């Protein structure tokens, strides 16, 4: 018993120190409720559709999403636009295709099978247009950054005037949540910047949440299927445990107890 208490005390002491050291280094991100967190988490369809709108109308002029195709927008577990809507979305973009019989490249309206169109021809062109900084591809950006969704959600709302004594070069902005606080992307969001098709008020907070939800789905399109599978696995394990327990009792019941 004594050693058990000793163990408990040591355990708490260890947990205590590790929590302390964490809180000392960590930036406090802005908090919001994500519908997709937790064992039963699901994406909010409305938020995904609005997030797609924010991405297209605001972010897509600089950031590519090269792993997404227009047909993904209609798939289960995603924004679940109807096939007709996804076709219309695809057709609203000009896609470069070719060469044709004369050996020339040409443009045509997008199809469901096309990848999202890229804002720039190549990395150099993207850098040249953004003061030397490359707007990263956003297909899996949520996974590429420590802090994930909370980080991106906060970053979009983290623009501030620089504190006294910090001077910024042209094209560099102060952001509370960016590593080193300096970012070569200007503040992109302002209240009412987009007009949501479903009538939701487009506050900076709302747009940040919606576009981040959309980015989360892009990085983890099978999240909902995974959550369903996890739940099934747990039910299966509970049943299995019960079966093993009762069969064990039965097997051992044949052995005579010594008196």
User: Is residue 228 at the binding interface for ligand HEC, with CB under 6 A as the rule?
Assistant: no
Q: Determine the Cα–Cα distance for residues 178 and 155; give it in Å rounded to an integer.
A: 7
| Complex with ligand HEC: residue 59 or 73, whichever CB lies closer | 59
| Complex with ligand HEC: residue 46 or 136, whichever CB lies closer | 136
Task: Decide: 126 and 110 in contact? Cβ < 8 Å.
Answer: no
Q: Determine the Cα–Cα distance for residues 100 and 3; give it in Å rounded to an integer.
A: 80
The 185-214 contact track toward ligand HEC, x by CB under 6 A, reads x--xx---------------------x---
User: Is residue 61 at the binding interface for ligand HEC, with CB under 6 A as the rule?
Assistant: yes
Q: Determine the Cα–Cα distance for residues 54 and 156; give it in Å rounded to an integer.
A: 12
Using alpha carbons only, how large is the chain's radius of gyration in Å? 26
User: Is residue 63 at the binding interface for ligand HEC, with CB under 6 A as the rule?
Assistant: yes
The 101-140 contact track toward ligand HEC, x by CB under 6 A, reads -----------------------------x--x-xx----
Count of residues interacting with ligand HEC (CB under 6 A): 21
| Complex with ligand HEC: residue 91 or 193, whichever CB lies closer | 193
| Complex with ligand HEC: residue 70 or 177, whichever CB lies closer | 177
Task: Decide: 183 and 175 in contact? Cβ < 8 Å.
Answer: yes
Both structure tokens of 166 = 């910090």
Place of tokens 């792993």: 67
Task: Decide: 184 and 130 in contact? Cβ < 8 Å.
Answer: yes
Q: Determine the Cα–Cα distance for residues 63 and 71; give it in Å rounded to an integer.
A: 19
Shortest spacing between CB 130 and ligand HEC, in angstroms: 4
Give the interface segment with ligand HEC, choosing from 60-68, 72-80, 195-203, 228-236 (CB under 6 A). 60-68
Q: Which residues contact 41 (CB under 8 A, 6 or more apart)?
A: 34, 35, 223, 224, 227
User: Is residue 149 at the binding interface for ligand HEC, with CB under 6 A as the rule?
Assistant: no
Shortest spacing between CB 217 and ligand HEC, in angstroms: 14
Q: Which of 149, 155, 202, 223 binds ligand HEC (CB under 6 A)?
A: 155
Both structure tokens of 182 = 């300096």
Task: Report the interface residues with ligand HEC, using CB under 6 A.
Answer: 54, 58-59, 61-63, 130, 133, 135-136, 141, 145, 152, 155-156, 183-185, 188-189, 211
């Amino acid at each position: 018993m004594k050693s058990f208490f000793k163990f408990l005390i040591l355990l708490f002491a260890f947990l205590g120190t590790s929590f302390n050291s964490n809180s000392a280094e960590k930036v406090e991100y802005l908090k919001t409720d994500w519908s997709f967190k937790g064992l039963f988490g699901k994406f909010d369809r409305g938020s995904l559709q609005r997030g797609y709108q924010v991405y297209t109308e605001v972010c897509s002029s600089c950031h590519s999403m090269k792993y997404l195709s227009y047909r993904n927008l209609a798939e289960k577990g995603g924004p679940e636009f109807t096939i007709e809507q996804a076709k219309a979305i695809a057709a609203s973009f000009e896609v470069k295709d070719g060469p044709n019989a004369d050996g020339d490249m040409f443009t045509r309206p997008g199809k469901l099978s096309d990848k999202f169109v890229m804002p720039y021809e190549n990395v150099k062109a993207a850098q040249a247009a953004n003061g030397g900084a490359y707007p990263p591809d956003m297909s899996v950006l949520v996974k590429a950054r420590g802090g994930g969704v909370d980080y991106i959600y906060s970053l979009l709302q983290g623009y501030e005037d620089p504190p006294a004594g910090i001077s910024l070069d042209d094209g560099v902005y102060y952001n509370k949540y960016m590593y080193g606080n300096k970012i070569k992307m200007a503040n992109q969001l302002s209240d009412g910047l987009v007009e949501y098709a479903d009538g939701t008020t487009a506050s900076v907070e709302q747009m940040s949440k919606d576009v981040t939800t959309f980015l989360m789905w892009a990085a983890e399109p099978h999240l909902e299927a995974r959550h369903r599978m996890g739940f099934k696995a747990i039910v299966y394990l509970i049943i299995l445990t019960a079966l093993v327990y009762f069969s064990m009792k039965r097997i051992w019941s044949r052995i005579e107890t010594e008196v």
